[in-house]
């Protein structure tokens, strides 16, 4: 075989080439080896082998190379004769003799077993060739090799162990032949090197796509859309080449100056020539496996074996052989508990192979099969939506779909509200106005709209049904839904009018009376009318008890718990919320599901206020686990914000930021008060970390003023801190003074996050009147003693009093209280103030000790601005820390936080996100955010690259022992 010099080393295969080079040099030194190269079709085995053989030839090695052919398997020693050049017309007489041994026209004296004789002669030939200078024997496409050649390769591998000989075989994982399995096992047991070619990393895909595009269009740069399209090839060079060729050939790539870009008008489908080419490449799979994969493609990029079995009408056992073949071939891979197409391009090609009309019919058939099998309603909905909104689809809902929505619609609303709303909208639009099923579907649709945050639309739909229906129960349900939407949208007066009117309607039964009154209580408490909330709660509980309606009882207890929170009686609130949650967990309907999430969120908040930090942390994790499983986007976002606040107060700011980043994805769906909570808390952390740009961005996302729950205080606090950071002390004081004026008779909790800052700034400006007012507000927590947590209230009062009087002993009491309450930021701020007071009194030794501890806590939080402020305040008294704060690097491994390092270690070990989440006892979404930050900071684009970077950085270190770098 003549080796064609490549234009350069295969892109993205530097590590594999290095391994082959090391083995070659060992062979040249007399320590021969065997190499087994394995990888799916098109992954680059031949290109790697060709590049390596060219280098080996340039180093003076003998090269003997060949490739097996699919139709040569029946010819003994076919590939090895070709590899070693033994043919009838060979110039070397020994090679001609070996070829003659196997030819039909051999002389009468040929041996009884010519294959065995030829094998021995070939072994001797290789032995003599390697005696003169190093020899490389390489065979590509071993999956098609004949059995005799495979046996000869095995014997050559033994010869290599005592000769300057390198034996290289390249093979696909399928077809999986027993003789190849035996050969591989024998090679590896004798020390052969196994090189498995994985998909190209994203950077290599981009570079290869750019080179291919440059060859075809002359453009040197790759556009964003074309780059994203290249990712569909899943890192397979052959698929990528075929895709770029097809796109250019079908004029779907435009050159814009020096950039090649995918035509903006191009649809989502693949060029037909590309679909055909990829389908042809899958010809190595059996017909049954290819057909099964086409059915799997209907289910999306990832699918369960159960779902696949349902739509093809076969058991998991019957699917085993085909799925194992597809997995071995690299077409499928495991993704958590699912199977997934390794290359999105293959899945799309399989999916688009049938005509569009047939695909739509197949989706409808799949939906019915999944429903008949009793599988998850969201899977059925996905198939229906694919049939109704796919290319060429006519959004006409058939009778079966309408009937299924009537049966399963409420379940679908709780599991997948977005899909439910889209399907229900289509069904309502399809049915004529006089069809009785239309109103039933509208009743199911309205709660889905509330869950999705489309409250105004839900109210309009509810009012439409109310105006037309003659069914008292339906009217009550629509009034309840309208009240729910209005309450969530903070239209409390309208909600109370709607609910009160419904309660006066004739024919109202106890069940709906209880539910409506519970919603009325919820609206009243949100509007601050605790008296009406109390009255409505008591009547709702009585009516729920008479009717036995658990959702109403849970909702009434929820309202009662919130009333107690507003009154500051947290023990009573915990009791009522716990009882409500226990009842709600026994219910299974969409409305109660949302209520259950609200209950979990309220309970976690109360536990946080009670300073039961371990319980609050566990409650927040349980909330997130349930919300990530079933919640609407808006409810999930609100759950994340609560979890972020729990992390913030515990000093886990990186985890808080991860949750806030995730919640920001649903920013347009959550209520205004929760948006202020989200962006206010994120801005506070950003200012503490001296990231003024991020703080400004978050503050710019919310109005300057606005009412809301206690979380709304973070917005003015962030504005004040940012003003102080910029030496605008008067502006900071004005903001915090307005906050002080609004406290009134509200519970004292949350004052600790801003009151000492106000007092410190007032003293700095010499405003003793304002400082005394702030101290008085701090001591005003006393009336709440016994209801709000004494430790935090005492700490706020002592911190303010100690600052005002310059009394380090009182400040020390606050330090102890904050330390006991588990408030690291407030602890450090009080230590900083204590250090300043001690320095002013001349006790520099004690001041230095307090300053050192404050600095240590600030450093752990990453509170760069607080460190700078503390250093500046103490520097006036001649106190300096021995080492200044080391800023975390912006990129690279040094930029990773301890939490991100831990996640990176687990990713490098090959752990999937669910396993990492379970290992660290965090939510899956938190892990996803950490992985996203790791990819960005390391400048890589895949988990495989994270593992590669980890291996290079920590070479020689067992990954499982790398926990040291995570702290």
CATH number where 87 lies:
3.40.50.300
- Same structural domain, 725 and 777: yes
pLDDT at 220: 80
Confidence of residue 272 (pLDDT cuts 50, 70, 90): confident
- For residue 117, count other CB atoms closer than 10 A to its CB: 15
The Cα 667–Cα 661 span in angstroms is 10
Distance CA 896, CA 913 (A): 18
3-state class of 262 per DSSP?
strand
**Least confidently predicted of 168-172, 569-573, 620-624, 949-953:** 949-953
Q: Which two tokens stand for residue 619?
A: 């409650």
Is the same domain home to 99 and 182?
Answer: yes
Of 198, 84, 78, 89, nearest in space to 137 by CA: 84
pLDDT beyond 60 at 697: yes
Residue 966 has pLDDT above 50, yes or no: no
What's the pLDDT score for residue 962? 37
For residue 621, pLDDT over 60 is answered with yes
pLDDT above 90 coverage of the chain, percent? 31
3-class secondary structure, 374: coil
Of 217-226, 431-440, 709-718, which one has max mean pLDDT? 431-440
Top pLDDT among 23 and 711 is at 23
Higher pLDDT, 849 or 945: 849
Domain-ending residue, one of 142, 176, 196? 196
710-749 per-position pLDDT tens digit: 567 888 999 999 999 999 999 999 988 887 776 544 445 5
- Asked whether residue 363 is assigned to any structural domain, the reply reads yes
- 44-58, 321-335, 769-783, range with the lowest pLDDT: 769-783
CA neighbor of 678 nearest in space, from 660, 696, 655: 660
Q: Are 380 and 371 in contact (CB under 8 A)?
A: yes
Q: Taking a C-beta distance cutoff of 8 angstroms, is the pair 824, 752 a contact?
A: no
- Residue 882 pLDDT more than 70? no
User: 807: buried, middle or exposed (CB in 10 Å: 19+, 13-18, 0-12)?
Assistant: middle
CATH number, residue 696: 1.25.40
Query: Is 931 found in the same domain as 867?
Result: no
pLDDT of residue 647: 92
- Please state, in angstroms and rounded to a whole number, the distance separating the CA atoms of residues 915 and 921: 10
690: phi then psi, degrees, rounded to nearest 5: 60, 35
* pLDDT of 474 above 90: yes
Report d(CA 202, CA 235) in Å as an integer. 7
Give the CATH number for residue 925: 1.10.10.10
What is the CB neighbour count within 10 angstroms for residue 591?
Answer: 22
* One domain, residues 766 and 795: yes
Q: Greater confidence, 964 or 67? A: 67
Q: CB–CB of 345/232 below 8 Å? A: yes
Cβ(382)–Cβ(300) below 8 Å: yes
206 with 349, same domain?
no
Residue 334 has pLDDT above 70, yes or no: yes
Q: Show Cβ contacts of residue 399 under 8 Å, excluding neighbours closer than 6 positions.
A: none
pLDDT at 834 over 90: yes
- For position 942, what pLDDT does the model report? 66
Output the pLDDT for position 791.
65
Q: Which of 847, 875, 903 is the last residue of a domain?
A: 875
Q: Specify if 511 maps to a domain.
A: no
What does the pLDDT average to over 164-168? 92
**In this structure, what token pair is assigned to residue 208?**
């290869």
Query: Which tokens is 408 given?
Result: 């399963």
Examine residue 143 and state whether it is found in any structural domain, yes or no.
yes
Query: pLDDT confidence of 345, banded at 50, 70, 90?
Result: confident
Q: Which two tokens stand for residue 631?
A: 């919640």
Report which secondary-structure segment, H or E, holds 928.
Answer: helix 924-938
Nearest to 492 by CA among 450, 460, 533: 533
Residue 416 lies inside a defined structural domain of this protein: yes
Q: What is residue 195's three-state secondary structure? A: strand
Q: Is the pLDDT of residue 94 over 70?
A: yes
Q: What share of the chain is helix, strand, coil (3-state, %, to 5)?
A: 70, 5, 25
Determine the Cα–Cα distance for residues 715 and 677; give it in Å rounded to an integer: 7
d(CA 813, CA 800): 11
Helix ranges (H only) for 202-355 are: 202-217, 224-230, 237-249, 272-281, 287-297, 305-312, 316-328, 344-352
Residues 838-850: tens digit of each pLDDT: 999 989 999 999 9
Reported confidence tier of residue 630, pLDDT bands at 50, 70, 90? confident
Average pLDDT rounded to a whole number, residues 170-181: 84
| 147 shares a domain with 22 | yes
Quick check: is 1 in a domain?
A: no
pLDDT number for residue 213: 87
Q: Is the pLDDT of residue 956 over 50?
A: no
pLDDT band per the 50, 70, 90 thresholds, residue 401: very high
CA distance linking residue 1 with residue 21, whole number of Å: 21
Helix residue ranges, H only, 489-569:
492-503, 510-526, 530-547, 550-567
Q: Which residue shows structure tokens 């004949």?
A: 146
Range with lowest mean pLDDT among 73-77, 261-265, 476-480, 764-768: 261-265
Torsional class of 835: left (φ above 0), alpha (ψ -120 to 50), beta (otherwise): alpha
Residue 602 lies in a domain: no
Which residue in this structure is represented by tokens 């060429």?
A: 392
Cα 426 vs. chain centroid, distance in angstroms?
A: 31
d(CA 389, CA 406): 20
Q: Are residues 333 and 413 in the same domain?
A: no
Final residue of a domain: which of 196, 226, 255? 196
Kindly report the number of other CB atoms within 10 A of residue 883's CB atom.
8
As to burial, measured by CB atoms within 10 angstroms (0-12 exposed, 13-18 middle, 19+ buried), residue 358 is: exposed
Q: Report yes or no on 580 lying in a domain.
A: no
Contact 925, 657 (CB under 8 A): no
Helix H segments across 133-198? 147-160, 178-189
| Per-residue pLDDT at 368 exceeds 60 | yes
pLDDT for 97 equals: 83
Q: In this structure, are 784 and 922 located in the same domain?
A: no
Residue 823 lies in a domain: yes
Residue, of 567 and 147, whose pLDDT is higher: 147
Domain holding 402, by residue range, is 355-452
Say if residue 347's pLDDT is above 80.
yes
854 shares a domain with 906: no
Lowest-pLDDT range of 265-274, 281-290, 430-439, 747-756: 265-274
The DSSP annotation for 15-81 comes to HHHHHHHHHHHHHHTT--EEEEEE--TTSSHHHHHHHHHHHHHHTT-EEEEEE--GGGTTSTTHHHH
Contact 943, 934 (CB under 8 A): no
- Assess whether 915 and 868 both reside in one domain: no
Q: 776 φ, ψ to 5°?
A: -65, -40
- Answer yes or no: is pLDDT of 4 > 80: no
Please state whether the peptide bond connecting residue 436 to the residue before it is cis, i.e. omega within 30 degrees of 0.
no
Which of the given ranges, 88-102, 401-415, 586-600, 784-798, has the highest pLDDT on average?
401-415
Cα–Cα distance measured from residue 859 to residue 862, given in angstroms and rounded to the nearest whole number: 5
- How does pLDDT run across 593-617, given as a tens digit for each residue? 888 888 999 999 888 888 888 899 9
The pLDDT score that the predictor gives to residue 51 is 92
Q: What is the pLDDT of residues 508-539, one digit of tens each?
A: 988 899 999 989 998 888 888 888 888 999 99
Looking at the structure, do residues 159 and 210 belong to the same domain, yes or no?
Answer: no
Looking at 100-104, 242-246, 347-351, 516-520, which range is the least confident one? Answer: 100-104
Q: Please provide the size of the chain in residues.
A: 967
Query: What's the pLDDT at 590?
Result: 62
Q: How confident is the model at residue 800 (pLDDT cuts 50, 70, 90)?
A: confident
pLDDT exceeds 60 at position 266: no
Tell me: do 910 and 788 sit in the same domain: no
pLDDT tens digits along 122-151: 888 888 888 878 999 999 999 889 888 899
| Number of structural domains the chain divides into | 6
């Amino acid at each position: 075989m003549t080796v064609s010099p490549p234009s350069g080393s295969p892109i993205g295969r530097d590590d594999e080439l290095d391994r082959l080079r090391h083995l070659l040099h060992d062979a040249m030194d007399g320590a021969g080896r065997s190499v087994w190269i394995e990888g799916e079709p098109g992954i680059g085995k031949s290109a790697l082998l060709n590049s390596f053989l060219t280098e080996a030839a340039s180093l003076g090695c003998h090269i003997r190379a060949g490739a097996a052919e699919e139709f040569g398997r029946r010819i003994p020693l076919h590939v090895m004769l070709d590899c070693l050049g033994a043919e009838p017309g060979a110039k070397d007489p020994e090679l001609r003799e070996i070829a003659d041994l196997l030819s039909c026209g051999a002389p009468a004296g040929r041996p009884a077993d010519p294959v065995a004789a030829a094998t021995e002669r070939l072994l001797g030939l290789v032995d003599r060739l390697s005696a003169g200078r190093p020899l490389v024997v390489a065979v590509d496409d071993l999956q098609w090799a004949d059995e005799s050649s495979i046996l000869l390769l095995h014997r050559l591998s033994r010869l290599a162990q005592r000769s300057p000989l390198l034996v290289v075989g390249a093979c696909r994982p399928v077809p999986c032949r027993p003789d190849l399995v035996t050969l591989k096992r024998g090679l590896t047991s004798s020390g052969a090197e196994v090189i498995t070619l994985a998909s190209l990393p994203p950077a290599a895909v981009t570079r290869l796509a750019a080179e291919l595009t440059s060859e075809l269009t002359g453009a040197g740069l790759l556009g964003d859309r074309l780059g994203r399209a290249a990712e569909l090839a899943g890192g397979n060079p052959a698929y990528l080449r075929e895709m770029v060729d097809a796109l250019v050939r079908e004029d779907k790539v435009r050159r814009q100056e020096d950039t090649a870009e995918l035509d903006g008008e191009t649809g989502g489908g693949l060029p037909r020539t590309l679909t055909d080419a990829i389908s042809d490449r899958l010809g190595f799979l059996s017909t049954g496996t290819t057909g099964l994969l086409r059915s799997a493609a209907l289910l999306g990029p990832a699918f369960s074996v159960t779902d696949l079995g349902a739509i093809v009408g076969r058991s998991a056992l019957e699917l085993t052989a085909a799925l194992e073949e597809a997995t071995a071939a690299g077409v499928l891979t495991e993704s958590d508990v699912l199977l997934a197409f390794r290359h999105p391009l293959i899945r799309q090609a399989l999916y688009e192979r049938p005509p569009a009309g047939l695909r739509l019919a197949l989706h409808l058939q799949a939906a019915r099969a999944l429903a008949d099998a009793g599988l998850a309603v969201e899977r059925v909905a996905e198939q229906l939506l694919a049939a109704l909104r796919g290319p060429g689809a006519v959004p006409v809902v058939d009778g079966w779909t309408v009937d299924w929505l009537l049966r399963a619609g409420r379940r679908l609303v709780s599991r997948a509200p977005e899909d439910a709303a889209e399907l229900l909208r289509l069904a309502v639009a399809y049915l004529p106005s006089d069809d009785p099923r239309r109103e039933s579907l509208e009743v199911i649709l309205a709660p889905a709209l509330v869950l999705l945050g489309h409250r105004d639309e839900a109210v309009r739909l509810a009012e439409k049904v109310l105006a037309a229906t003659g069914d008292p129960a339906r009217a009550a349900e629509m009034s309840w839904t309208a009240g729910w939407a209005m309450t969530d949208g903070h239209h409390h007066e309208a909600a109370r009018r709607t609910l009160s009117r419904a309660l006066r309607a004739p024919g109202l039964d106890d069940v709906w009376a209880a539910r409506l009154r519970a919603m009325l209580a919820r609206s009243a408490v949100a509007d601050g009318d605790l008296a009406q909330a109390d009255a409505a709660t008591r009547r709702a509980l009585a009516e729920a008890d008479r009717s036995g309606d658990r959702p109403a009882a849970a909702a009434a207890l929820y309202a009662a718990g919130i009333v107690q929170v507003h009154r500051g009686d947290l023990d009573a609130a915990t009791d009522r919320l716990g009882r409500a949650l226990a009842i709600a967990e026994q219910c299974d309907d969409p409305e109660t599901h949302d209520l259950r999430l609200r209950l979990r969120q309220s309970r976690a908040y109360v536990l946080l206020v009670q300073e039961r930090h371990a319980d609050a942390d566990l409650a927040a994790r349980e909330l997130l686990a349930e919300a990530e499983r079933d919640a609407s986007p808006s409810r999930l976002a609100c759950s994340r914000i609560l979890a972020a606040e729990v992390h913030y107060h515990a000093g886990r700011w990186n985890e808080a930021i991860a949750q806030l980043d995730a919640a920001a994805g649903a920013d347009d769906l959550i209520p205004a008060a929760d948006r202020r909570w989200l962006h206010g808390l994120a801005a506070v952390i950003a200012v503490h970390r001296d990231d003024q740009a991020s703080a400004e961005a978050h503050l710019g996302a919310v109005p300057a003023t606005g009412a809301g729950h206690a979380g709304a205080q973070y917005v003015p606090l962030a504005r004040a801190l940012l003003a102080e950071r910029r030496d605008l002390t008067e502006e900071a004081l004005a903001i915090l003074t307005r906050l002080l004026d609004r406290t009134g008779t509200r519970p004292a909790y949350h004052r600790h996050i801003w009151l000492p800052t106000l007092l410190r700034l007032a003293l700095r400006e010499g405003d003793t009147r304002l400082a005394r007012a702030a101290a008085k507000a701090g001591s005003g927590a006393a009336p709440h003693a016994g209801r709000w947590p004494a430790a935090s209230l005492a700490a706020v009062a002592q911190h303010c009093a100690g600052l005002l009087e310059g009394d380090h002993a009182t400040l020390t009491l606050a330090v102890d209280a904050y330390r006991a309450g588990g408030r690291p930021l407030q602890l450090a701020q009080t230590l900083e103030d204590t250090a300043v007071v001690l320095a002013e009194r001349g006790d520099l030794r004690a001041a230095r000790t307090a300053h050192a501890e404050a600095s240590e806590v600030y450093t752990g939080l990453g509170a760069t601005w607080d460190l700078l402020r503390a250093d500046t305040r103490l520097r006036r008294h001649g106190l300096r820390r021995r080492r200044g704060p080391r800023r975390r690097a912006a990129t690279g491994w040094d930029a990773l936080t301890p939490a991100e390092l831990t996640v990176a270690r687990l990713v490098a070990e090959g752990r999937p996100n669910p396993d990492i989440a379970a290992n660290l006892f965090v939510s899956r979404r938190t892990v996803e955010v950490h992985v996203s930050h790791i990819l960005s900071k390391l400048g890589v684009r895949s988990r495989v690259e994270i593992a590669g970077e980890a291996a290079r950085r920590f070479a020689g270190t067992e990954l499982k022992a790398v926990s040291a770098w995570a702290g």
